[in-house]
Chains A and B, each alone.
Chain A
Amino acid sequence: MLEIKNLHASINGNEILKGINLKVNVGEVHAIMGPNGSGKSTLAQVLAGRETYLVTEGEVIYNGKNLLEMKPEERAREGIFLAFQYPIEIPGVSNTYFLKAALNAIRKHKGIEELDAVEFLVLMKKKMRLVDIDQELLNRPVNEGFSGGEKKRNEIFQMAVLEPKLAILDETDSGLDIDALKIVADGVTKLKRPDNATIVVTHYQRLLNYIVPDFVHVLVDGKIVKSGGKELAFKLEEIGYDWVREKIEVKT
């Protein structure tokens, strides 16, 4: 589904990603872990098409297409979804209006008939139950005045409505208490299907208690330094990232 080859990216002349290699197959859940500043969020943003980052080298193949040549909206329509670490507040635009516009743009791209207001409402009601989100929140402007937990829940709700093929969750656990974390993780797990894939970007292991990954990759200083199964996450939690860092230092 996704193949990242030797990906380098920089911002304002500073190289953040220094040669990422990663392969994600349909049905898999990958966790990308790493200390602050290692480039986890940059990777997520680059995959979603954020133009503030400059890709200097490498390629990303998504379902046989060159992902890096696609605009952010084209990526979304092709099934990529980024759950933001810091969801943006958009005053004056209601959540419902925004999401209907997004869903219909995707449906139009796929050649499926667009939903009218009533059909959309029915769909929303169904998806609301999945993430236990309040109707009142959906009538409000996008993320405006939402608590941290509400924002994250709204991201997962959008994901539920848009049904992406590849979901990238960027630090979805940050700022969540344990109950909110459970709800969010539960939503993600319910949305998991054999024909989609998930990349979970996280600093802490605790989210992985609820979203169990097939693979764990450790990102340090713009490179994946170690990959393994879910047990790798436990090891990191136990002894911290210094252990991986030391290993690199020994190597160099």
Chain B
Amino acid sequence: MNDKYMIQTDENIKRYISQFESFEKSLNGELQSPIHTIRRTAIEQFLKLGFPTTKDEEWRFTNITPLIRTEFIPSFENPICPVSEKQLEKICIKKIPGQRLVFIDGRYSSDLSVVNPQQPNIHIGSLAEAIKKLPDLVHQHILHNNDGEKNVFTALNSSFLQDGAFIMLPDGTTVKNPVYLLFVSTGENTPIISHPRNLIIAGDDCRVSIIEHYVGVGMNPYFTNTVTQIAAGKNSIIVHSKIQNESVKAFHIGSIYIKQDEASNVTSNSIMIGGEIVRNNIIALLAAERIKCTMNGLSLASSQQLIDNHTTIDHAKPHCSSHELFKAILGGRSKGVFNGKIYVRKDAQKTDAKQTNKTLLLSDMATINTKPQLEIFADDVKCTHGATTGFLDADAIFYLRSRGISEDIARDILTYAFANDIINRISVQPIREHLNHFIYTRLKQGRQLENM
């Protein structure tokens, strides 16, 4: 590394420090609060860690230099860009029956949101409001450092911790309809950075389905640096679906931290279809017995997109099962990365863990780097992993053509089927419809296929 690069890096770090200083000024009276202590610890961590390079094992295949060099403006320094209902209707997932929380450049918009009258002890709203009204509760549940010790972007998110979704469900709560969190980035004139922080805390015996949807409306670069924490109480059933469809020049780095208690069942769906450089981290801690953890992933990339999924499933206790299937469809010169860690701790006997990664390459120029990482310290366990990469099956294409189906449509049918395998696993029907339509628009003969 030469000196010039070091100075460059320093300047890039310094920019965030000065942003933090002006952020502190904007907070006024909040500086003495325990929440702010978390921010201060986090910015120190950020300083200590610095931005990663491709020399870091965790970032080997994901070069984020363009992201580091871009001079983003924090959303709190930028006037709120208005987004109309009409604009929103165009980009949102239609027909989701439940509550909708809308965030514009990371800030909660009560005008665009639809929330039910609150029942006692059930909190579904913005984090900013919760910090004001229930600071102790937020402080108690928010991750102080956790993986942030290693993850510089989580540290950065915690430094600028201010808004996002706050969902807290007491024991025995069933939320009937999915809760839809919609994050819109405007990216109109200035490259904006936002740090949404979502806190989802479910007590024992809860049932809830949460959708996190990230979209951009502008053509300019922006950076979404998001962190979601999910805590699933005993016997709880949680479905979390993240649909990342940022605009073409956007950067998206997100981490989802899941902590599961006894006999809970968490399904995490990750659909990565937008953005220029995308990193999706999911870290699940199976902290008690008889837990079920399912992770489904679908990445769809073309042109120069880079989509990186890093997952960690930590089996800490016996009799838990995890099932992970990540698929990617890569066209153009796009790049995919999959890194799947599974830890089976010494205590975690009778663990049943399955990891599968499948990549479909639609072009010769597209690449995938896939790496399963299994670390097993228990002896009575069942752990499997497998990775496949390839082009569309020539035999299958011929089979379809031999029945009268044109080559283009045969390719589209097979590509669609590859993606559909994941889409069908998502229990929320409006999401499936939304994604099906999206995939059809990406296919050559999609319109014809959609009508078939």
Contact = CB atoms under 8 A, between A and B. Distances in A.
A48 B402 contact: yes
Given A90-B396, A100-B452, A101-B409, A73 B401 contact: yes
Given A100-B452, A105-B406, A92 B401 contact: no
Interface in B106-156: none
Given A90-B396, A90-B399, A105 B421 contact: no
B406 A73 contact: yes
Interface in A95-121: 97-106, 109
Interface string B397-426: 011111111110110011011101100000
Contact of A71 (B399, B407, B414, B421): B407
Interface string A182-209: 0000000000000000000000000000
- Main SS at interface, chain A: helix
A104 to B, nearest CB: 7
Contacts of A72: 398, 401-402
Contacts of A125: none
A150 to B, nearest CB: 16
A96 to B, nearest CB: 11
Contacts of A84: 399, 402
B3 interface: no
Contact of A76 (B396, B404, B420): B404
Interface residues of A, number: 35
Contact of A92 (B398, B405, B406, B417): B417
Contact of A73 (B396, B405, B420): B405
Given A91-B417, A92-B418, A93-B414, A98 B400 contact: yes
Contacts of B396: 88, 90
Contacts of A216: none
A49 B394 CA distance: 13
A49 B402 contact: yes
A211 interface: no
Given A92-B421, A101-B409, A162 B404 contact: yes
A76 B402 CA distance: 6
- Main SS at interface, chain B: helix
Contacts of B414: 90, 93
B85 interface: no
B417 A90 contact: yes
A93 B404 contact: no
A68 to B, nearest CB: 15
Contacts of A51: 398
Contacts, number: 80
Q: How large is the interface on B (under 10, 10 to 19, 20 to 34, 35 or more residues)?
A: 20 to 34
A138 B420 CA distance: 18
B21 interface: no
Contacts of A75: 402
From A72, A91, A104, A105, residue with most partner B Cβ within 10 Å: A72
A50 interface: yes
B403 A76 contact: yes
A92 B404 contact: no
B56 interface: no
Contacts of A27: none
From A73, A99, A104, A105, residue with most partner B Cβ within 10 Å: A73
27 contacts: A51-B398, A71-B401, A71-B407, A73-B401, A73-B405, A75-B402, A76-B401, A76-B403, A76-B404, A77-B404, A81-B403, A88-B395, A88-B398, A90-B396, A91-B417, A92-B416, A92-B418, A97-B452, A99-B403, A102-B404, A105-B404, A109-B404, A141-B417, A142-B399, A158-B403, A162-B403, A162-B404
Given A84-B399, A90-B414, A162-B403, 10 more contacts: A48-B402, A73-B401, A82-B402, A90-B400, A90-B417, A92-B416, A98-B413, A101-B409, A102-B403, A105-B403
Interface of B: 393-396, 398-407, 409-410, 413-414, 416-418, 420-421, 452
